[in-house]
A and B are shown apart, each in its own frame.
Chain A
Amino acid sequence: MAALPRLDLSWSRVFAVFLKELVQMRRDRPTFAIMILMPVIQLILFGYAINTDPRHLPAVVEMREDGPMTRAFLASLHASTFVDIVAVAHTAEEGEAMLRSGQASYLISIPEGFERRLLRGERPQILIAADASDPVAATGALGAIERIARSAFVPEFTGPLAYLAQGPPPYEIVIHRLYNPAGVSAFNIVPALLGVILTMTMVMITSIALTRETERGTMENLLATPVRPIEVMIGKTTPYIGVGAIQVAIVLITSTALFRIPFTGSLPAFLIAVTLFILANLMLGYLISTLARTQMQAMQMTFFVFLPSILLSGFMFPFKAMPGWAQAIGECLPITHFLRIIREIVLKSAGFADIVGDLWPLTLITLALAALALVRFRRTLD
């Protein structure tokens, strides 16, 4: 392995570059505005387009039993905007046929003896078969039906039945995803969008860090000073950690306010992960700027990185379903690890210990990118 450049850096020179970048960023209003507005626009655009809980999906209900509680449940389903009951079937075949033909997106079936077993505490199942060929439609099901069921049954659990309101629900909702078992959860996408937004803005903005100096002719002057490559790298990238932090705040606020994403995991773990992820992207962008000769090339390389970040990271398609070679590429992308981390933290209440398995690859990627960028940095105009 080639010797890494010596780290004889002066923090005052780092600070000089940092300060200069900050002033230039402030003067470049349009770019700054884009960096701030982009997360909001993307989130709203993708958040709503991909992600809003699907409403008014046709459902067929298969009622094998008729009692006060099941009737209450049916009434709640009717009242909800989540599903539209298009039919009440009396045989299994009837319901399944409607699902297959696309007349209904869900088949909700309440088995025989539901109420009796409920009262005995046997946790009877409410079966939901979802047409997951539209994965988004399918994924909305679990959360929504759960809510509907709770709102239907809880008022019934009063008086002598009050014991049923204690502990976990006395029934179980079982979802069968038909036609596409690996669905994408609705809450999966909005947190993941944070990863996409950060990748896009951080890589893009740093990818022109050096090419802009070269194209404007200021590189010649910069190289004529005693500034070291590592000082340029740190000084040029750190201002964008701040920009990244603003974007993170915007995405978090928007996603909680608009999409009611629960944030249940450890905040410190999240902050460590997101900082590391921002750094990884800044280094990736900076590496591009040491490779590209012009800003145009830098943009093209950014998109070259951006596409696999969306397609091979598990953002768009289930990671485990990809062929081995695609997974190998995905493992090298910072966003793959970040997506796993953020889904763990935001959706599964994960803490620091749960995400270590993805933190160290992220650290490794960051260091490798930084080292590569330093080796690639052209100290001369050759």
Chain B
Amino acid sequence: MSDEIVIDVRGLTKSYGGRKVVDDFDLKVPRGAIYGFLGPNGSGKTTTIRMVCGLLKPESGAGEVLGFDVLRESLKIKERVGYMTQKFSLYEDLSIRENLDFIARLYGLDRRAERLDRALAELGLSERQEQLAGKLSGGWKQRLALAACMIHEPELLLLDEPTAGVDPKARRDFWDRIRQYASQGVTTLVSTHYMDEAVQCDAIAYIAYGKKLIDAPTAQIPGRIGLHAWRMAGHPLHPAELMLKDAPGVELVARFGAEIHACGKDAAALERAVRRVQDAQPQLSAAPIEAGFEEIFIYLMSGAMDNFQ
């Protein structure tokens, strides 16, 4: 990471049918960073990413991406950005190699054959290069899509939920690759639903209902939210879980194997709620714990942050 800012957008706003899907959105992403973009479904992540890469025109706002004006120089931005769409958007009736060749030609790349061979080998697609893209499984499609958006060696990767519907092994490989690119100075803005992916990001921007609510280095996120947590264990857990869910002061109840974690921002109210449950179910143990990333992200992704300011 360096001090150079690769994405610098201010006040991006977009509405559909009178509803603001993205509202006054600011973001600064330094070069080489892996920036996580989190938020519940429909919160405006895809719209924001599309505005950053010039696929949608913001109603208002301004900004620069890689030093080029978001509104006026989108062609220059497109030449230097690799965008991976949420839905597979390469040609299912072209083979893997034909797809990559098409993209390579559109970017006007020289030494195409060499670049294609290298990209195919790097992603482990050499054996399958003549296979039609439509016949690939989700994981392989995702590899192909990543290869396609990397073929012109972009400085910035915009990945829109790249690992949705991909098996854990393929997701790990994918992230290894992203980190490797980051070490080479490639900046990544990636939206995700998975907390194991979110924790791998250097920083996180959290968006809900089109508004950015949190934007901080990942390590600072728990502190920013100020979430308190209690752990309860014992038998039976289910009645306690139900009681906690309705209790005032409890904003999140999550099951972790043989224990439940109850979280809330008001420490006193949370403790009162847990104590009440323990009075009713004295065989259960209860102890305060530090709210970890897992609780934080379940809390964030469940949309519990809607009214957070």
Cβ 8 A contact of B55, one of A12, A216, A224, A228: A224
Q: CB distance B105 to A12 under 8 Å?
A: yes
Q: Which residue of A has the minimal Cβ distance to B93?
A: A27
Q: CB distance A221 to B85 under 8 Å?
A: yes
Q: CB distance B89 to A218 under 8 Å?
A: yes
A contacts with B: majority SS: helix
Cβ 8 A contact of B78, one of A28, A219, A225: A225
The stretch that binds B, out of A14-22, A130-138, A308-316, A347-355, is A14-22
Q: CB distance A23 to B89 under 8 Å?
A: no
Cβ 8 A contact of A20, one of B57, B79, B102: B102
**Docked pose: A221 CA to B54 CA in angstroms:** 12
Q: CB distance B91 to A225 under 8 Å?
A: no
Q: Closest CB of chain A to B19's CB: distance in Å?
A: 15
Q: Which residue of A has the minimal Cβ distance to B103?
A: A225
How would residues 1 to 30 of chain A score, 1 for a CB under 8 Å from any chain B CB and 0 otherwise? Answer: 000000000101101110110011001100
A380 contacts across to B, CB distance below 8 A: 54-57
Q: Closest CB of chain B to A219's CB: distance in Å?
A: 8
Q: CB distance A224 to B90 under 8 Å?
A: no
**Docked pose: A36 CA to B102 CA in angstroms:** 27
How would residues 84 to 109 of chain B score, 1 for a CB under 8 Å from any chain A CB and 0 otherwise? Answer: 01011111111000100011011110
Q: A13-B106, A20-B94, A224-B83 are in contact. Are A382 and B56 (CB under 8 A)?
A: yes
A223 contacts across to B, CB distance below 8 A: 55
Q: CB distance A12 to B89 under 8 Å?
A: no
Q: Closest CB of chain B to A272's CB: distance in Å?
A: 31
Q: CB distance A216 to B54 under 8 Å?
A: no
Q: CB distance A221 to B90 under 8 Å?
A: yes
Q: Closest CB of chain A to B22's CB: distance in Å?
A: 13
**Docked pose: A381 CA to B51 CA in angstroms:** 10
Judge whether B50 is part of the interface by a CB distance below 8 angstroms: yes
A19 contacts across to B, CB distance below 8 A: 102, 105
Q: Closest CB of chain A to B152's CB: distance in Å?
A: 9
**Docked pose: A17 CA to B91 CA in angstroms:** 12
Judge whether A94 is part of the interface by a CB distance below 8 angstroms: no
Q: CB distance A13 to B108 under 8 Å?
A: yes
**Docked pose: A358 CA to B186 CA in angstroms:** 57
Q: Closest CB of chain B to A283's CB: distance in Å?
A: 22
Q: Closest CB of chain A to B90's CB: distance in Å?
A: 6
Q: CB distance B53 to A224 under 8 Å?
A: yes
Judge whether A227 is part of the interface by a CB distance below 8 angstroms: yes
Judge whether A168 is part of the interface by a CB distance below 8 angstroms: no
Chain B positions 238-261 with a Cβ under 8 Å from a chain A Cβ: none
Q: Closest CB of chain A to B73's CB: distance in Å?
A: 11
Q: CB distance A20 to B75 under 8 Å?
A: no
Q: A12-B108, A380-B55 are in contact. Are A20 and B89 (CB under 8 A)?
A: no
A227 contacts across to B, CB distance below 8 A: 106
Q: CB distance A16 to B89 under 8 Å?
A: no
Q: CB distance A24 to B94 under 8 Å?
A: yes
**Docked pose: A19 CA to B98 CA in angstroms:** 9
Q: CB distance A217 to B78 under 8 Å?
A: no
Q: Which residue of A has the minimal Cβ distance to B77?
A: A226
How would residues 193 to 232 of chain A score, 1 for a CB under 8 Å from any chain B CB and 0 otherwise? Answer: 0000000000000000000000011111101111110000
Cβ 8 A contact of B75, one of A17, A226, A382: A226
Cβ 8 A contact of A226, one of B50, B93, B107: B107
Cβ 8 A contact of A220, one of B55, B79, B102, B105: B55
Q: Closest CB of chain A to B8's CB: distance in Å?
A: 20
How would residues 338 to 382 of chain A score, 1 for a CB under 8 Å from any chain B CB and 0 otherwise? Answer: 000000000000000000000000000000000000000000111
Q: CB distance A226 to B57 under 8 Å?
A: no
B132 contacts across to A, CB distance below 8 A: 27
Q: Closest CB of chain A to B111's CB: distance in Å?
A: 14
**Docked pose: A12 CA to B148 CA in angstroms:** 18
A17 contacts across to B, CB distance below 8 A: 106
Q: Closest CB of chain B to A39's CB: distance in Å?
A: 25
Q: CB distance B105 to A16 under 8 Å?
A: yes
Q: CB distance A23 to B78 under 8 Å?
A: no
Q: A12-B105, A13-B106, A226-B78 are in contact. Are A24 and B93 (CB under 8 A)?
A: yes
Q: CB distance A217 to B88 under 8 Å?
A: yes
**Docked pose: A382 CA to B54 CA in angstroms:** 11
Q: A381-B50, A381-B56 are in contact. Are A16 and B79 (CB under 8 A)?
A: no
Q: Closest CB of chain B to A7's CB: distance in Å?
A: 14
Q: CB distance A224 to B56 under 8 Å?
A: no
Q: Closest CB of chain B to A371's CB: distance in Å?
A: 20
Q: A217-B88, A220-B55, A226-B78 are in contact. Are A10 and B108 (CB under 8 A)?
A: yes
Q: A13-B106, A380-B57, A381-B50 are in contact. Are A24 and B91 (CB under 8 A)?
A: yes
Q: Closest CB of chain A to B167's CB: distance in Å?
A: 22
Q: CB distance A225 to B89 under 8 Å?
A: no
Q: Closest CB of chain B to A3's CB: distance in Å?
A: 15
A226 contacts across to B, CB distance below 8 A: 75, 78-79, 106-107
Q: CB distance A28 to B85 under 8 Å?
A: no
Interface centre among B83, B85, B94, B105 (most CB of A within 10 A): B105
Q: A20-B91, A23-B94, A382-B56 are in contact. Are A217 and B105 (CB under 8 A)?
A: no
B92 contacts across to A, CB distance below 8 A: 216
A15 contacts across to B, CB distance below 8 A: 105
B81 contacts across to A, CB distance below 8 A: 224
Show 28 residue pairs from A and B whose CB-CB distance is below 8 angstroms, ordered by the A residue. Answer: A13-B106, A16-B105, A17-B106, A19-B102, A20-B102, A23-B93, A23-B98, A24-B91, A27-B93, A217-B88, A220-B85, A220-B89, A221-B83, A221-B90, A223-B55, A224-B54, A224-B78, A224-B85, A225-B103, A225-B106, A225-B107, A228-B75, A380-B55, A380-B57, A381-B55, A381-B56, A382-B56, A382-B57
Q: Interface on B for A, CB 8 Å cutoff?
A: 50, 53-57, 75, 78-79, 81, 83, 85, 87-94, 98, 102-103, 105-108, 132, 148
Closest 3 CB pairs of A and B: A16-B105, A221-B89, A224-B83
Not counting A12-B108, A20-B91, A380-B54, a sample of 8 additional A-B residue pairs whose C-beta atoms are within 8 angstroms of each other reads: A24-B91, A27-B93, A219-B89, A220-B55, A224-B83, A225-B78, A227-B106, A380-B56
